[in-house]
Amino acid sequence: MSEAKTLTEAFMQTKYQVAGHGKRNFEVLQEVFQGLDGQLDSDIYGSGKVIEDFQVKMAKYLGKEAAVFFPSGTMAQQIGLRIWCDQKGIKKVAYHPLCHLEIHEQDGLKELHQIESVLLADKDSLITLEDVVSMQEEVACILLELPQREIGGQLPSYETLEEISVYCRNKGIKLHLDGARLLEILPYYQKTAVEVCSLFDSVYVSFYKGIGAIAGAILAGDQTFTEESKIWKRRHGGDLISLYPYIVSADYYFDRRSENMHGYYEEAKELAELFNACPAVSTLPLVPVSNMFHVHFHAQKEQMEPILIEIFEATGIGLTSYLKEVIGESCGYEVSIGDQYAALPKEKLQEVFRLLKEKMKQQI
């Protein structure tokens, strides 16, 4: 007697996956280190060629005076905000209601740093200049996340960013960029990282989203800011004796993938169009502005799972390993395009959407 397969199981058995760079397995590390000279020295507590060179490279890429490698973005961003709060003597920062610090970090900012958050904009909307200008409370810093991940990876216009930046500078409010997916938005804005970062006082970037490395983050800003961040990194327990497994991997995949972002973005738009051509399916945003978007099925999770399993088995192509209930009779998942999309057999992908269209018609 065989039990029904779960969506995750069916996904795991597919030959091709539509999103991402591939499995997060040991090969990701092995590929990086197998060709390297074993005699190269480890970093030691934040010093050494391997960490210093990468920090200089990233500072230059982001157009900031200095950069510090952190094991995680959670640590890097809390520390960035703490420094701005201490400098201003105000223990308050403003950000989006679905900011990573608000919903994914077990309230570290509040529990470890006693920093209060002021929530800007409705949770389903982007932060506007109006939201910033009409803010009643005095804050040390505003954090903008580009793209706004939890609402499908939406972006404000570049003009809005510039206006918010000018406003904050005039008001003495520090502006911090949650650029976990900074590289992924450059093709849409048609700007360099330096240009985007010039609007911000401090910037965090991640290496395991579009870059697809193992873990790790960079926090960049002026020299005083980054030097202070190193002290906090020690306090947080992030100043490991050796971070090179992450640094070397971040550097390797940065070099390999940073130029691919335009392709991922174009592919995301292509894929979103395929979804939007199906009945009772839509993407958020309708037209992606980066390599990411959310897929919404206007059907219940219990209805959608067997449909997707059937499609995965018929085509050998996996769309997603999970479905999340959205609200009421809807469910969805997040797509981030990576290396795997280009490797999909196109006729199989067409077959996926032919089947999806057919099955969704029956749902209406």
| Binding residues vs a copy of itself (CB under 8 A) | 23-30, 33-34, 36-42, 44, 70-76, 78, 105-108, 111-113, 208, 214-215, 231-232, 234-246, 248
Indicate the residue among 125 and 242 with the shorter CB distance to a copy of itself: 242
d(CA 45, CA 59): 19
Q: What is the DSSP letter of 238?
A: -
How far, in Å, CA of 104 to CA of 146, rounded? 17
Tell me the closest approach of the beta carbon of residue 32 to a copy of itself, in angstroms: 10
Of 27 and 130, CB closest to a copy of itself:
27
Collapsing DSSP to helix, strand or coil, 92 comes out as strand
> Which lies closer to a copy of itself via its Cβ, residue 204 or residue 353?
204
Q: What size, in residues, is the chain?
A: 364
Whether the Cβ atoms of residue 330 and residue 290 lie closer than 8 Å to each other: no
Which DSSP category does 44 fall into? B
Question: Cβ 360 to a copy of itself, closest distance in Å?
Answer: 31
Query: In terms of CB distance, is 106 or 362 closer to a copy of itself?
Result: 106
Tell me the CB-side half-sphere exposure of residue 111, using CA atoms within 13 A. 7
Report the sign of the C-alpha dihedral through residues 292, 298, 302, 305, in that order. negative
In the complex, minimum distance from the CB of residue 207 to a copy of itself, in angstroms, rounded to a whole number? 10
Residue 310 Cβ vs a copy of itself, minimum distance, rounded to whole Å? 26
Cβ proximity to a copy of itself, 135 vs 240, nearer residue: 240
Burial class (CB in 10 A: 0-12, 13-18, 19+), 327: exposed
In contact, 175 and 199? CB cutoff 8 Å: yes
Residue 23 or 354: the one with the smaller Cβ distance to a copy of itself is: 23
**DSSP assigned state of 34:** T
- Closest approach, Cβ 105 to a copy of itself, in A, equals 6
CB 108 within 8 A of CB 78: yes
| Nearer Cβ to a copy of itself (23/60) | 23
Least separation in angstroms between residue 215's CB and a copy of itself is 4
What's the min distance (Å) between Cβ of 330 and a copy of itself? 26
Q: 10 Å Cβ neighbour count for 305?
A: 20
Q: Alpha-carbon distance 337 to 190, whole Å?
A: 19
* Secondary structure (3-state) at 325: strand
